[in-house]
Structure 1
Amino acid sequence: MIRNGFHIQKATVTALFLRELKTRFGKYRLGYCWALLEPVLHLFVLWIVFDYVMQRAMADISFPVFLLNGLIPYFLFSNIATRSINAVEANQGLFNYRPVKPVDTIIARTILELFIYIMVYFLLMTLLLISGETIDHVNLISLFTVGFLLVVFSFGCGLIVMVAGDAFPEMEKFLPVIIKPLYFISCIMFPLSSVPKEYWRWLTWNPLLHAVELARGAVARSYQSDGASLAYLAISTLAVLFVGLLLYRNREEAMLTS
């Protein structure tokens, strides 16, 4: 049977996904459970540390729900971007096989991060409901739309990072310096409404902030996300994806032979 390009790429991405999963988590005693435990433990530590301080400041949304819908988008974006920097180097030997392309490694890593954080998100949301937290409204269409745009945006950034990292190895040192500040300017630990409006014009250039605020608005009817725009997030996603694909197309041959 002759397989078309889509089926070949699907098989390639599946194999890379399983390889990445085994490489990252197969060596631990807890095995693949660590894929869920690692982010869950991180979230619970922050929840315990900040819950007492922040619960009084969150009148329109439960603090655990607020925190969860800020950290998950950030971790998803951050992990896809940072794990893309060495994608070419880590899979260089596989490029001897014609079906394997550098973009397939980014697709596989994006799918893995998406799988992990979908599981973490629904697991923790379920635990919050069981523990008695009230979630009065969930707009699934809005939540899925924001999630989809965030994943595509992160994938586009991953492509840019992969190309930049292959062309300039020093990028591996500079990338954490670029990514870490986003934790503090993306409204992860505070709502945009708490920031004076004269500063919004600077903060709202950040697409990740829009994803975080829109995600919170999708799970809490009373949450105020006036400064967030789905249209801006969509335009930013298309722009980043276009730039990423353009850079990748111009650099693909060099990455295969480097």
Structure 2
Amino acid sequence: MMQGLMPQSHPLRRMPALRTIGALIFREMSTSYGKSPGGFIWTVLEPVGGIALLTVIFSLAVRVPPIGSSFALFYASGLLPFMMFLDISRKIAQSLSFSKQLLFYPGVTFVDAIIARFVLACMIHALVFVIVVSGIIYYDNIELILDLPKVVLAFLMSAGLALGVGCMNCFLMRRFPVWANVWAIITRPLFLLSCIFISFESIPMPFRDYLWFNPLIHIVGTSRSGFYSTYRAGYVEPLYVALLAAVLFGAGLALLTKWHRDLAQR
């Protein structure tokens, strides 16, 4: 009724995809955070609990963190973008499964489902970042000079890589179900191989050269250089992460475009 009264030039008539994505975002919020006990609170408590546990463990082993004076801030600067990558890539990979029934409607495409999950996850992690870092600064009474552009760049790198990996995994996990188990095995040691609780410079050669090809090393290094003005992170190469993310995203999107109808029926 209201759509019939709208003029042809009305923005809502010209942008049906945005309305679809908006509806999918609200559905995601209701499904992911509205039905479980605690809802969004657990999204915040997970990184807080991880940072607190690591802080206690490593503060007993060594007197000062590799950079700065706050264990919590050092680990948060690496853990938050790392967890963002894992969470967003996982949610993108599950896009077809999560919105399987809706994909049969002519107004909903698999791209809409991916964009909706991606946008909401980025918003959630941005909010988690603000809450966690603000809490650490207040609790440890830190006088922090934050290089915001570098921190934003780190989170953009993390989000972009997660989108690329998620799109590729979205195809692989639906086309080859065993890939979900293989991917779980591959990602298990990433926490140790991404310099979350150590600095990249402390890794002996030649292992350091091999680890350089892990894109998460560059994301964590960029994030840390935004938190610590004296940390240069000369090994970081954002272009490498961007190219890798673009290749994975393009390949994943092309495969999904060709196979998404068959995959949605599985």
Same fold (TM over 0.5): yes
- Identical aligned pairs, as a percentage? 24
Note if contact 1:28-1:34 (Cα within 8 Å) is conserved in structure 2.
no
Using a 3 Å threshold, how does the CA distance of structure 1 residues 168 and 4 change in structure 2: closer, same or farther? Answer: farther
Deviates more, 1:36-45 or 1:10-19: 36-45
1:50-81 deviation line (CA, Å, top 9, x unaligned):
33334524244632222001111111111122
- Counterparts of 1:112 and 1:53, CA distance in 2: 38
The residue number in structure 1 matching 2:22 is 14
Q: Does 1:64 align with 2:72?
A: yes
The residue number in structure 2 matching 1:118 is 126
Give the drift of 1:116: 2.2
Which structure 1 residue ranges, 5 or more long, are not aligned? none
Q: Structure 2-normalised TM-score?
A: 0.86
The residue number in structure 1 matching 2:88 is 80
Using a 3 Å threshold, how does the CA distance of structure 1 residues 126 and 6 change in structure 2: closer, same or farther? Answer: farther
Which structure 2 residue ranges, 5 or more long, are not aligned? 1-5
Q: Does 1:164 align with 2:172?
A: yes
Using a 3 Å threshold, how does the CA distance of structure 1 residues 132 and 121 change in structure 2: closer, same or farther? Answer: same
Give the drift of 1:195: 0.3
The residue number in structure 2 matching 1:140 is 148
- The one-letter code sitting in structure 2 at the alignment partner of 1:69 is S
State the number of aligned residues.
Answer: 258
Give the drift of 1:203: 0.2
Note if contact 1:210-1:229 (Cα within 8 Å) is conserved in structure 2.
yes
Deviates more, 1:31-40 or 1:12-21: 31-40
Note if contact 1:61-1:222 (Cα within 8 Å) is conserved in structure 2.
no
Note if contact 2:167-2:252 (Cα within 8 Å) is conserved in structure 1.
yes
Give the drift of 1:220: 0.5
Give the drift of 1:33: 2.9
Coordinate RMSD, CA, aligned: 2.4
Deviates more, 1:166-175 or 1:28-37: 28-37
The residue number in structure 2 matching 1:177 is 185
Give the drift of 1:124: 1.7
Secondary structure of the 1:30 match is coil
- The one-letter code sitting in structure 2 at the alignment partner of 1:190 is I
- The one-letter code sitting in structure 2 at the alignment partner of 1:155 is L
- Counterparts of 1:211 and 1:17, CA distance in 2: 27
Give the drift of 1:252: 2.9
Deviates more, 1:185-194 or 1:34-43: 34-43
Using a 3 Å threshold, how does the CA distance of structure 1 residues 92 and 112 change in structure 2: closer, same or farther? Answer: same
- Counterparts of 1:231 and 1:54, CA distance in 2: 35
Deviates more, 1:43-52 or 1:192-201: 43-52
The residue number in structure 1 matching 2:3 is none
Which residues of 2 match residues 1-258 of structure 1 at below 5 A? Answer: 1=6, 7-60=15-68, 62-258=70-266
Give the drift of 1:135: 4.6
Using a 3 Å threshold, how does the CA distance of structure 1 residues 141 and 224 change in structure 2: closer, same or farther? Answer: closer
- Counterparts of 1:200 and 1:256, CA distance in 2: 42
- The one-letter code sitting in structure 1 at the alignment partner of 2:258 is N
Note if contact 2:47-2:79 (Cα within 8 Å) is conserved in structure 1.
no
Give the drift of 1:11: 1.8
Q: Structure 1-normalised TM-score?
A: 0.88
